[in-house]
Structure 1
């Protein structure tokens, strides 16, 4: 059974999946969503859960720097509740402060990636970072 990591935004959800042993995270895809129209990409999430035999989901929680919960974190919490209601899989949160900034810096410094290409993959890379941080902090 694998773990899924999600970087939830207002327009996209970055998706990462762990290897079967729960050691490493790999970016899978970016799902387009539309919060305003309540289109949350749950059909595709369901397909990925089945395909990868997902046993738990890690949702990035974008807290404010002072550790408070703002509007984006509240949206992630609502998204996580929807996942739990639909799929009945355990959901955990991973603090994702600065994960997108780290992902962008990595793509610039290590990948020498153009701005246009970064925009296409940043959410998936952020999902990998969220999931990998979770995996690293929960190793037995």
Structure 2
């Protein structure tokens, strides 16, 4: 069973997918979105869901450090509900606190240029969100 991981930004949507056994997450791509006009790349998401035979979707849920939900968290909840209704698949909101910062640190450590980091940061954050979820599932 493959699981899709999503990291919603204001301009891009990072996408990752699990292997068939649900052990590892791999980054697929970053989709340009227009959040202001409600354009979230659902046509491309549909293609990826079909291509990888996805059965579940994990959306990074940006909570504040104290656990409260701010404006980004509310926007993410609305997005996750749209994903659930559009694709008729289970959608899990997964705590993503610090995932983008961790992805940034990892890319800096790998000596990736600032320009290249900007192009892949959301995809890497999606990988970290999905991998965290997969690790949690295996511990249960």
The whole-number CA distance in structure 1 between the counterparts of 2:74 and 2:41 is 18
The alignment status of 1:83 with 2:83, answered yes or no, reads yes
Aligned equivalent of 1:92: 92
Gaps in structure 2 of 5+ consecutive residues: none
Q: Deviations over 1:41-95 (max 9, x none)?
A: 1000001000000000000001000100001111111110001111110000110
Cα displacement (A) at 1:2? 0.4
How high is the TM-score relative to the length of structure 2? Answer: 0.97
Aligned equivalent of 1:112: 111
Matched positions, count? 139
Cα displacement (A) at 1:31? 0.4
Aligned equivalent of 2:127: 128
Cα displacement (A) at 1:10? 1.1
SS in 2 for 1:138: helix
Gaps in structure 1 of 5+ consecutive residues: none
Instruction: Give the alignment's Cα RMSD to 1 decimal.
Output: 0.7
The whole-number CA distance in structure 2 between the counterparts of 1:130 and 1:52 is 18
> Where has structure 1 moved over 2 Å in runs of 4 or more?
none
Cα displacement (A) at 1:3? 0.2
Aligned equivalent of 1:138: 137
Aligned 1:19-34 pairs, distance under 5 A: 19-34=19-34
Aligned 1:50-69 pairs, distance under 5 A: 50-69=50-69
The alignment status of 1:44 with 2:54, answered yes or no, reads no
